[in-house]
Each structure stands twice: as structure tokens, then as C-alpha cells.
Amino acid sequence: MKSTPLTERHLALGAKMAEFAGYNMPISYTSITDEHQAVRTGVGVFDVSHMGEFIVKGREATAFLQSATSNDVEKLEPGQIQYSCLPNKKGGIVDDLLVYRLDDTPEMTEPGVQTYMLVVNASNETKDWRWLRRLARSFDVKMQNISAKTGLIAVQGPKAVEALQKLTKIDLGSIKYYNFQRGTFAGCKNVIVSATGYTGSGGFEIYARNRDLVKIWDKVFANGAKWNIKPAGLGARDTLRLEMGYCLYGNDINDKTSPLEAGLGWITKLKKTADFPSKERLLKQRADGVKRKLVAFVVQDRRVPRHDYPIESRRGASIGVVTSGTHSPTLDQPIGMGYVKSKYAEAGNKIMIVAGSKKLEATIVKLPFVDPGV
């Protein structure tokens, strides 16, 4: 099992640790609810160094990524980020990812050369790397897997700007959503500070060299003490993302789910000229309509819906399956997401979640479940 550069810090804080995507990761420090509320109302810090990072550079880097990803990479300006997915050849999803356009300074590139960083899910790092390497064979690009030497923390919450600003000359408040800047942070050079988030409460992601990450972590907590900054584990990260309706690969999307079924049509640019895997299949699917849709629901019970629980209509017909479920700390109510047959997917419809011998009544709702007000 792998460790991140911050494992000793987590153990010293008394974190409950568990294996996740091959890494020894903190699940919680105090309680999931406490850490969740810290992010929603103040500021919390996640170690997400397990994520994968690839550099793609070359005269055909843009063309390559246009042919590999679902979104329109040509729209990215240097300093911008794009949420996208890697469609496979059967209409499913290899992974969802972030695409960073890096070539904004002379030292990063040369005329005619584009440089990108791809941020992929930890559990898919090897799979994604092999997939992209195969697709890159006919393009003038070079790829580098920098995952093993790159550390990443996410500082999330409405107090993130105040907690971090003294650590850098970068004007954090000026970084727009899905943009980034590169500079010195906490005395460490060549750090990327971005604003994407996976919690809905605002904040920043800080990419740095592994050898700098402990120093950055310590300074973030020392400077953030005034704002009662707290460490947060993967447990709270899951409840936070689910309250916003953000997909989790392996639960809500996988190699057999279509991005159109998953509500990711907005990152599936079927009108762009470049072909990408399954484009024709997805074009047909959009024209014909999808047979199932990913929906969000709230449960009128105290029992939490779990992954793979069957979903039925009120008349007992089998209509789908739960993909994610949790108890929402904000709503104090069980919530979940799952796929149902399209004719049942309208907000307001009543469904039944089959939890063993018990059936839980639930109502389909529009996302997000909560509005963090950030």
C-alpha cells in the first residue's frame, strides 16, 4: 500500500486510516459530520495526493486531446481548466478528468508547442495512462506521468481565501472558477493554485512537489488557525460531493455508463469537428434519447441508501439501481443518486429504494441537494 508525503501528519493527528485506490488515506480525524460542517462554514484541508497527474506536450497536443476527450479543448486559454471525460469505444467512460492548459510562460513551452496537465482519478491512473498512450501514437506529442512526484492538497470552504492569502503573492480572490495561477506558495516555487473544487464550498487545490508538501501543509495550518482550519478526510469529501451531485467514478460513472445517461452532456461536445471514441454512438444516442438517466433523490426514512440497492416504481416494477448514497449532514436526511428508466426520471416522481426486506420511499429532486451559498 502506498503512502502520501503527509501520512505521518495524518497519523500524528489521530486520523482513521484506510486503503483507497492503493493508498493509505485518512477517512476521518474527528467525525465526518464535523469535517463536513467545517468545509461548509469555514475551511477544511484534504490530502488528495493520490490523484494522478500527466503532462501532455507537443505541437499536436491540442489535436490529440481533442481526439481523446469529450469536451472542446480548443476553447481553453492558458490558465484555464476544463472538466471532461475519456470516452471508450463502447459508449462508456474510461475516466472523468480535469484538463489544465499550462503553456502560459516562455519557460514552459516554445512557439507552436502546447502543454497540458491532466488530473485523473487515482484508481484509474494506470488504466488512463495506457489508454492515452495508445491514442497518442499517431500524434506529435510527448507524455510524462508526474503522479509519483506530485503532491496535492485541497483547501476548501468559504474562509479559504482568508486562510491562505498571507502565504502567497498570488491574488487568490482573483482566481476565477476553473482557472489557475502558478507561483510561489508558502515559500515553495512553481506551485499551481487552482479553483475547481469537489465540495461546492469554494476553495483551492495546491499542486506542489512531494518534497514541499509537508512544509506547505504545516504553513497552511499555522496560518489558518485564526479561522479554525481543520483537516478533513475522504469520508467528508464524499458527503460534500454527493450533496452537490458530483459524480464519483466507480459509483455513478464507469466504463459501461454513457456520459449522456450520467447527465454529462454538457461536457460531451458532439458538434466539435474532431472525432473521439464513441462519437458516432453518442450522436445516435442523443438523437434517439437515452433509455436510463442518473437522478438524485431524497429518502423519507432514516436509513441510508447504499450502492447497488435496487430501485422500484411505487407499483413494484424494477426501474433502476442506486449508485451513491449517504446521510446529508446539511439536510439531516438520507440522499442518493442512481440510474432509473428515463420515463421515471422526472423531478417530483416517487420511487422506492429496496433495502433488503424493507422498501424506502424516496422522491426524485433536482441537483444540487443543497446550496452552499458560495
> Can you give the residue ranges of every domain in the chain?
7-48+149-242, 291-374
* pLDDT value of position 310: 98
Q: Which pLDDT score, from 0 to 100, does residue 103 have?
A: 81
User: Residue 140 has what pLDDT?
Assistant: 96
Listed in sequence order, the residues at least 6 apart from 84 whose beta carbon sits closer than 8 Å to its beta carbon are 69, 70, 71, 73, 96, 97, 98, 99, 267
Cβ contact 220:45 at 8 Å? yes
Which pLDDT value is given to residue 372?
Answer: 85
pLDDT (0 to 100) of residue 106? 53
The maximal CA–CA distance of the chain, rounded, in angstroms, is: 65
Cα 73 to Cα 38: distance, rounded to the nearest angstrom:
35
pTM: 0.96
- Residue 264 has phi, psi (to 5 degrees) of -105, 30
Class of domain 291-374: mainly beta
List beta partners, residue 156: 44, 203
- The pLDDT score that the predictor gives to residue 111 is 74
Omega cis (within 30) before 106: no
What is the H or E stretch that residue 45 is in?
A: strand 44-47
CATH number for 7-48+149-242: choose from 3.30.420.40, 3.50.50.60, 3.30.450.30, 3.30.1360.120.
3.30.1360.120
pLDDT along the chain (374 residues), means of 10: 97 98 97 98 98 97 98 97 98 98 67 93 98 97 98 98 98 98 97 97 98 98 98 98 98 98 98 97 98 98 97 97 98 98 98 97 98 76
